[in-house]
Amino acid sequence: MGCGFVFDGSVTLGEVSFALAWNVHGNPAQSSFVLEAERLLGVPLPLQPNTASHLVGNTVLCLGPRSWLFVAGPTSKRNDFSDTRVALNAAGGALFDVSSSYIGWLIAGGGAARVLNRSCPLDFDASVFPAGRCAQSMLGHINALFYKVDERPAFIVMAARSLAVDAWRDLRTSARTDGYRIVTPASFHPPPFGNRPDGDGRDR
């Protein structure tokens, strides 16, 4: 069964689920750190700020020159934070568990970029914000992280869990002009979307 998100001319909104989120710090010029981080996380470490890499349900977003966000999909069974932190510290890095700090949503459809631009100053045109791009900016008055999942018109928006109500309201308000459908949650890096939304279409 598809997750309900579409990428035609309509707009769909829904929460994304993930098992954990870890903030990684380190020096990308230190090859021993980069190699150990990639071994421990199982994903290539993107070295260019505002880019991302994805492999087997796991995603790494480069937030800045020395900071990354590792997000494991909802099916991940990892429970090795302590061991990973110790190993990364030994390689000159640092690891912080921020799993409970974030909440995320996926907005998809032909009008997704237009909807986001009503509350965010970033340019989400595909020529400027291509697949795999991520950036931190404002969603209304809230700090948020934006990630372009792939070539489809779909974006993940992450914000502090403590501001979830405000962020969700801003997304729905921005989408109201175009009309939107709320759908069932999807994994952080969803499979190909279906063309028939599963949600009930109500503005909640």
18-68 pLDDT, tens digit each: 999 999 999 999 999 999 999 999 999 999 999 999 998 899 999 999 999
Exposure string over 168-189, b if 16+ CB within 10 A, otherwise e? bebbbebbeebebbbbeebbbb
Q: What is the CA radius of gyration of the chain?
A: 17
Structural domains present in the chain: 12-17+101-187 (3.30.1360.120), 20-99 (3.30.70.1520)
φ, ψ at 186 (rounded to 5°) = -125, 165
Angle subtended by helix axes 81-90 and 31-41, to nearest 10: 170
Torsion of CA 120, 170, 115, 110, to 10 degrees: 130
| Per-state percent for the chain, helix, strand, coil, to nearest 5 | 20, 30, 45
Q: What's residue 2's pLDDT? A: 43
Residue with tokens 């890096």: 189
Tell me which H or E stretch contains 86. Answer: helix 81-90
Exposure string over 95-131, b if 16+ CB within 10 A, otherwise e? beeebeebbbbbbbbebbbbbbeebbebebeeeebee
End-to-end CA gap in the chain: 23
Tell me which H or E stretch contains 72. Answer: strand 67-72
Q: What's residue 135's pLDDT? A: 98
Number of neighbouring beta carbons within 10 Å of residue 53: 18
Q: What is the mean pLDDT of residues 88-95?
A: 98
Give the single-character DSSP code of 195.
S
Both tokens of residue 141? Answer: 């008055």
Number of neighbouring beta carbons within 10 Å of residue 45: 19
Contact predicate 194/82, CB 8 Å: no
Say whether pLDDT at 196 is over 80. Answer: no
Both tokens of residue 79? Answer: 């429970």
Structure-model confidence comparison of residues 178 and 162, the more confident one: 162
Say whether pLDDT at 195 is over 50. Answer: no
pTM listed for this prediction: 0.89
- Read off the pLDDT of residues 133-174 as tens digits, 9 standing for 90 and up: 999 999 999 999 999 998 989 999 999 999 999 999 999 999
